[in-house]
Amino acid sequence: MKRIAFLAVAALALSIACGEAVDPTEPLNAEAARGQPSPNETCVGIVDADILALCEDTDAATYTSRNNADKDENGQIGKLARADTKLSENKICEAIGKLTEYRDKVVSLRAEDKIIEPAGVDLAALADAIITRLGGPCD
């Protein structure tokens, strides 16, 4: 409990210093602080058109894992968001790395029958096409 109170005070002090209002009664998002996808990961903010299209197709897929469907979907969208961020920072190989992680997870989800892709969409092939466009894979 002391840790939560300390974090709330720290967040409030930081928000005051930055000129932003923060509700100290709002729970802190520890997952976001650790760089993990938040429970509501979305495609909003993605700039690269190909990654945005892939993100929207990923969001349209059906995840069938009994206990981890939301985690699987949010994790995949988070990988795409981080790839887009790395691309905007001109860190091409890091962006390719995130896209490769995304593609490999799609393949894994398929093998476990935990994903149903939208009709006519091959998420792994789309990721590969973006990787190729970026000049990957990186060594």
pLDDT at 35: 44
Distance CA 76, CA 11 (A): 28
Q: Name the one residue in this structure whose structure tokens are 């709330």.
A: 8
CA 133 to chain centre: 20
Per residue in 13-71, pLDDT tens?
Answer: 434 444 444 344 444 333 333 344 444 567 888 889 999 999 999 999 999 988 889 99
Per residue in 66-108, pLDDT tens?
Answer: 888 999 999 999 999 999 999 999 999 999 999 999 999 999 9
User: What Å distances lie between residue 23 and 8, 11, 13, 20, CA to CA?
Assistant: 9, 9, 11, 10
